[in-house]
Amino acid sequence: MTGQRSDAYRDDRAHVFHSWSAQRTLDPVVIEGGLGATFWDEAGTRYLDFSSQLVNLNLGHQHPRVVAAIQEQAAKLCTVAPTFGNAARSEAARLIAEAAPGDLQHVFFTNGGTEANEHAIRMARGTTGRHKILAAYRSYHGATTGSITLTGDPRRWANEPAMPGVVRFFGPYPYRSPFHAESPEQETERALQHLDEVFTMEGPQTIAAVILEPVVGTNGILVPPPGYLAGVRALCDRHGALLIADEVMSGFGRCGEWFAVDHWDVVPDLVTFAKGVNSGYVPLGGVILGPRVYETFADRPFPGGLTYSGHPLACAAAVATIEVMRDERIPERVRDLGERVVRPRLEKLRDRHPSVGEIRGLGLFWAIELVRSQETREMLVPYNAAGPAAKPMADVIAACKARGVWPFTHFNRVHVVPPLIISEEDLLQGIDAIDDALEAADAHATA
């Protein structure tokens, strides 16, 4: 807003301590409301939500069935300790287990994704009696002590040293292959050989689990090449390690399946989730356990827990979300939109802009990678750029907002991650706005 600031803005600046931010540099937009794929600030400026807030708003703002479920549960029972049974929690667990891959049938509830990953590695260590966790460089797993250690991106640096026992590996990234591969098939082969060598060098008998995002989210929307996830599953089986799939961002319809691993028919030992399970209306996450992990703690206590594990309001929202996704066939709709609308439209955008190096994704989970040169693939801005070095991306962001689209960006990428209920008309309108905004990136690129 310009001129007189609202009470909400003044109180924010006086009292709210924001995450991942230098506090005195902030000038937050105060959001007044939202509906579907749109939200608006207190000045009445409306935006298409092409970030799904933090890629969690799968059913959009204020879905009436989810709001009603929260209201009905609040009138009945707002909270209960996790030691008790509760209808909302039990039904949410059943529905999540029904959607889960393979034989994963039990759910441990958390308040979000980072806690889910913390507890998943605790489960893996307890099940195997081993202590090391293999995690990818291009990854984000959360901000608590263990999860930030698992995270591969620069947000980890300022939090080190942290949890011991985490060993890094490179996952596949065909566009910028760390293995100098010349085809997706070669990328798979070399990435798996590299991971096998990490097992060997670290001692397979010390490795409890490999954790990965089936489709890497914030760090690039990296869709694995054919055979990679199945190959990781086979390596884990050969070496006695568990496979943890972090589906916090990619799960619950985002990639056109209930879980991204379903694209490749791979069954992990543990699946972590949050975000889309109830569109973030009430904080909720969790771990879905396979039989090997469940049996480990069937007759001895699991050494972990949370006061708000399976909070009734959050679970009621999850039940309503999953029922809406089933009734409205959301995963199928997302799969159709991704292939019929998004992919061909982004391919045209790529062909039009010298700043676009690659487009990639599944469902409604896409990245536009921006470069200074399509030939050299030099990133539009340097890795982890800040200040003046980040200005080309800042210009793109400003141009998107000026055209009524609130984008999700990271490093040199614009991500296309709108709510899964977005209309086809709004989806195309948002991509057209990004198309126009990329003129700002083209100014820094060589044709």
pLDDT in tens, 172-214: 999 999 999 999 999 999 999 999 999 999 999 999 999 999 9
pLDDT in tens, 111-149: 999 999 999 999 999 999 999 999 999 999 999 999 999
The burial class, CB within 10 Å (0-12 / 13-18 / 19+), for 264 is: middle
> What average pLDDT does range 391-396 have in this prediction?
98
Q: State the amino acid at position 47 in one-letter form.
A: Y
Preceding peptide of 161 cis, ω within 30°:
yes
Q: Note the pLDDT tens digit of each residue in 7-54.
A: 999 999 999 999 999 999 999 999 999 999 999 999 999 999 999 999
- 414 φ/ψ angles, rounded to the nearest 5 degrees: -110, 125
For residue 275, give the DSSP letter: G
- Other CB atoms within 10 Å distance of the CB of residue 331: 22
Q: Given pLDDT bands bounded at 50, 70 and 90, which one contains residue 447?
A: confident
The residues that bridge with 358 in the sheet, in sequence order, are 369
Give pLDDT, residue 1: 43
Q: What predicted TM-score, i.e. pTM, was given to this entire model?
A: 0.97
Whether 352 has a pLDDT exceeding 80, the answer reads yes
Taking the C-alpha atoms of residue 249 and residue 277, their distance in angstroms, rounded to an integer, is 10
Cβ atoms within 10 Å, residue 115: 26
Q: What is the mean pLDDT of residues 374-397?
A: 97
Contact 312, 73 (CB under 8 A): yes
DSSP 411: T
Q: Where are the beta strands (DSSP E) in 220-323?
A: 242-246, 270-273, 285-289
pLDDT at 392 over 70: yes
Instruction: Please report the pLDDT score of residue 141 as a whole number.
Output: 98
Tokens of 281: 């209306």
Exposure b/e, 409-445, CB count within 10 A at least 16 = b:
bbbbbbbbbbbbbbeeebbebbbebbbebbebbbebb
Render pLDDT for 60-76 as a digit per residue (tens, 0 to 9).
Answer: 999 999 999 999 999 99
Mean pLDDT of 220-228: 98
Contact 228/192 with Cβ under 8 angstroms? yes
pLDDT above 80 (res 366):
yes
Mean pLDDT for the chain?
97
Strands 405-406 and 365-370: unpaired
Nearest-angstrom CA–CA distance, 77 and 80: 8
Is the pLDDT confidence value at 370 over 50? yes
CA-based max dimension of the chain: 65
pLDDT for 3 equals 60
